[in-house]
Structure 1
């Protein structure tokens, strides 16, 4: 038989519905034959045999679909022999219809399988692109523990315009979380350019201000050689963060991004910049000087970085998601548990429809184990 296809669960195994539908064509043939044999009122059930190959085409390949059609024709011929002692005109007519439907269903199955394979290849490319552009973060870098939640808005996409990265450098752990303006492949291209620059400059730049300047220069150069004007005009909001290994503080630099949230048992506090800075790739239009904020960040302290896919999510009444208010009730949870609560609550709040990419990164100072 042809290798079965159909809907798969996220882990790559056939879904329960698919498993049931795979058996349905054979079950339909058996039940039709049984009902016809047990009928005492002259009611004929062979008309249901026509549906068998059509049903098979939804989850099986062309070969199995034709095989199901052949079984249906054999069942119809057997019905004629049992009832009339011969395969008469009525049976031949039904078999002709089954044959025609089987050919059409086999063609539809072949087209469906080809499209499913193409989609599988696209998903494979998307997964590879995500691993190259948005690499998985380790659970810990030095004394900094990390937890991430990322979801692209496009249903079949693995990557969008939101970006993140964390690297351990001689200056401490440096992080970036950003959001490229717009959607689609141009936004992904810009995100890739920005991340490539960050991964290179994060090790060499002496300060976050120098790092931001280098990211700005990199995006400007990217804009000069961008394939389309749309790509060249894209900008990105971003949060840069540096967590030194040897002292209980952290440095933040905000380029037009939603303010990070400091989490501790006392509550949630937003860190707003003293002087607002423009997004990256817009500094040439707005005179600005990069300024860094210093915040206490000792053992047990956590910071939550997020994109506007979280803060600007709306409910059915158009109200924005109350992120800080929700987080205040979860400060006692682990970072992984907090992200689970946030994901579930955000999905429920927005009705399950993601209008924008979502990225949430939690960085926590490790608490040393007691003696």
Structure 2
């Protein structure tokens, strides 16, 4: 079995032994007059960086034995220096063991939070149907909150009496508050997408749900889409980035709405609401829905991710493989953890 721990972990693991060995050699060769003996306590001090409290206590014991041995070798028990060095090793070891014990408790609490967050995320973002008639779908989700593995982007696909309806959205904020808002939106969408006769009705239901349960404290950029029996897609855009259409003939363009509208959660204030707009969606075409965590991903020079120029990555026959390649390209563009959640949904109209 290969060791999967990163190189820096192994370096930190060996560091306490290397420090104690170095102090011992210097103390023996330079003599007791240099005063290096108390530095043996650096061994247990560095031991707390990795591993558990038992390992730290073991290294502290080794440091204590080494300190006593060097003090005897240099006849330092006749002065205060030897006792001071021993007390330093004991004190640092006790402090390091306590620090490691507290760190392990925090790590266990964080692991529990992660488990709860993962369960909540799985319940919230259910697997979408991969195939509906001649439509194929794939999703990708990358959370910026790596410690909790949870974020504020949302997506859903519902098979309704009038066709396939979907939503992709981005909640204001991150963490558990964003998840609460996303839960409200998705719950309302799952019901409205099946009941309402048009997308406008679905959007109105979402607005009312947000206003009723959150009182205008949060907003959500979102795009609703519907694919019926004809070769077109109808969209309703609430201040969300326009989807990217990749035609079978190679044409690539963003499907921007006629006019920009405010996000969900702000529509109950008397503003102009979005109007449905349609676009061709025929066999062989693809639609990429995404959140701004994709297009606003910056490299080290501050340049945004050029999504339109990366459309060739969607040529993979497998939709999930295509999204995996695109997601990896975004990560390589940033070369660092993403600053915002990034969700993508690829919808394909099979030509056969």
Query: Does TM, normalized by the shorter one, top 0.5?
Result: yes
Contact 2:113-2:148 within 8 A present in 1 as well: no
Paired residue for 1:332?
315
Q: Distance in 2 between matches of 1:22 and 1:141?
A: 53
Q: What are the equivalent positions in structure 2 for 1:1-371 lying under 5 Å apart?
A: 14-26=5-17, 28-29=19-20, 35=25, 42=31, 46-80=37-71, 83=73, 89=79, 90-137=81-128, 139-224=130-215, 232-244=216-228, 247-265=230-248, 266-274=250-258, 276-284=260-268, 285-288=270-273, 290-298=275-283, 300-315=284-299, 319-327=303-311, 329-334=312-317, 335-350=319-334, 352=336, 354-366=338-350, 368=352
After TM superposition, the score normalised by the length of structure 1 is 0.78
Q: Distance in 1 between matches of 2:257 and 2:114?
A: 39
SS in 2 for 1:202: helix
- Of 130-139 and 253-262, more deviation after overlay is shown by 130-139
Contact 2:244-2:255 within 8 A present in 1 as well: yes
Query: Structure 1 pair 317/103, CA: closer, same or farther in 2 (3 Å)?
Result: closer
Query: Structure 1 pair 142/14, CA: closer, same or farther in 2 (3 Å)?
Result: farther
SS in 2 for 1:330: helix
- Of 275-284 and 353-362, more deviation after overlay is shown by 275-284
Contact 2:260-2:274 within 8 A present in 1 as well: no
- Of 133-142 and 55-64, more deviation after overlay is shown by 133-142
Instruction: Report the Cα offset of residue 74 of structure 1.
Output: 1.8
Q: Distance in 2 between matches of 1:129 and 1:169?
A: 25
- Of 171-180 and 133-142, more deviation after overlay is shown by 133-142
SS in 1 for 2:315: coil
1:63-113 deviation line (CA, Å, top 9, x unaligned): 3322221122123334455x3699665544422221111111112112222
Query: Structure 1 pair 14/314, CA: closer, same or farther in 2 (3 Å)?
Result: closer
Contact 1:126-1:158 within 8 A present in 2 as well: yes
Q: Distance in 1 between matches of 2:114 and 2:219?
A: 27
SS in 2 for 1:279: coil
- Identify unmatched segments of 5+ residues in structure 1: 1-12, 225-231
SS in 1 for 2:313: coil
Instruction: Report the Cα offset of residue 292 of structure 1.
Output: 4.3
Contact 1:162-1:307 within 8 A present in 2 as well: yes
